[in-house]
Amino acid sequence: MDTITRMKAYIEVVECEGYSAAARKMGRSKALLSKYVRELEDDLGVLLINRTTRQFSLTEAGEKYYRSSIEILQQIDEARESVRDNDAEVDGTLRITAPRSLGAVESMLPLVEFAKAYPAIRMVVSLDDRVADLVEERFDVAIRVGVLADSSLIAKRLMKNRLLFCATPAFLKEHGVPDHPSQIADWPNIIDTNWRGRNTWPFVDEKGEPFTQTVRAVMDVNDPEVCKRAALAGIGVTMVPEFCVARELAEGSLVSILEDFVAEGSAFYVVYPDRRHISAKVRVFVDFMDAWFKKEH
C-alpha cells in the first residue's frame, strides 16, 4: 500500500476528529481508514491515535507525525508544480487567511480580481482576526495588517497602512482637538482587543522614538469595523487601520487626530511559509497582489 495514501487518510482522520466523519468526507469505508492508520502504526512502530477512551485524541507521536505528514504532502505538491510547464494554467485550491476587516467591499476587491484572473484556482478565504498558524492549519497564504512579529514566514509588504486615531467632528467639537496623546487618556475610547497592547496605544515622539499611552476604555470589541461604527456613532476615539477608515476620512464623517504622533511601522502584507519551492498558485497570488497594490496605491 502507498504510504502517501495512508498519510492522506491519517490527516483526514485527524482533521475530522474521527474515522466516521473522515470516511464520509473521503467516500471511503471506516474500516478501510482504520486499516490504513493501523498499517502506518505497524510501519512506524508507534501508536498514533489513542484507543483507550471514547474521546478522539492523538498520542505525542501522533501529533508529530500529523505535522510532518502535512509538510511532506505540501512538499510533494510543490515539487510537482515546480516541474510543470510554465505556460500551463495554474490550478488547485488556494487557502487564504485574512482579518475580518478585510471583508469590507473595497478591501476584498484584489481577491475578487484575482479570482477573475485565475478561474482555475479555487479560493477558500477564512476571515478571522486570530493569527492563524499557516503550517499547522494548512493555509497557503495570509493577508496581515500591522507590525509583524519575527517568524519563519516570508512577508511581502503591499502598502503602508498606519494605525490612526479617529473620532467624529461632533465629538471633537465637544471635547476639543488634542495636541498630545496624554490628553485622550481619560476620554471615552473604543478599544480593538485584537491589538496586543489592548488599551495601551502606540505613538512616536517628535524624534520618532516610540512610546505608549494608556487610555480609558468605554468599549472593548474584537473587530475594527465595529470600532469604526462605534466611533461614527460619537461614542469616543478609536484606533483602527487606515484602510478601514479611508472612505470615512475622505468624506469627513471621521477625523484623524494626533497625526504628528502616528507611527509609520504598520503595513499591509501578504505572508506565506518559508519553503524552498513556492507553489505556482502561491507565486501567482503574491505577484498579483503586489502588482495590484502598486497600480492602485
In whole angstroms, what is the distance from residue 73 CA to residue 11 CA? 10
* 172-204: burial string, b at 16+ Cβ within 10 Å, e else: beeeeebeebeebeebbbbbbebbeeebebbbb
Tell me what pLDDT residue 179 has.
95
| Cα distance between residue 291 and residue 297, in whole Å | 10
Q: Where are the domains of the chain?
A: 3-81, 92-152+267-296, 163-261
Q: Which CATH number fits domain 92-152+267-296: 3.40.630.10, 3.40.190.10, 3.40.50.720, 3.90.1150.10?
A: 3.40.190.10
Reference 245, options 80, 110, 107, 83; nearest CA is 107
Alpha carbon distances (Å) from 158 to 66, 148, 198, 268? 33, 13, 26, 5
Residue type, 161: N
pLDDT in tens, 57-72: 888 888 999 888 888 8
Q: pLDDT for 1-27, tens place per residue? A: 588 889 988 898 888 888 888 888 888
Per-residue model confidence (pLDDT) at position 130: 77
Query: What is the pLDDT at residue 104?
Result: 58
> Are 92-152+267-296 and 163-261 in the same CATH fold?
yes
Give per-residue pLDDT as tens, 139-176: 899 988 766 665 677 888 888 878 899 999 999 999 99
- What pLDDT sits at residue 190? 97
CATH node for 3-81: 1.10.10.10
Write out residues in the chain with pLDDT < 70, as ranges: 1, 52-54, 78-88, 101-107, 146-151, 265, 274-277, 296-297
Within a 13 Å sphere around the CA of 208, how many CA atoms are in the beta-carbon half?
2
Assigned CATH class of 163-261: alpha beta
Which pLDDT belongs to residue 168? 97
Distances (CA, A) of 259 to 164, 204, 262, 294: 8, 10, 5, 25
Q: Which residue has the cell 487626530?
A: 257
Residue type, 58: L
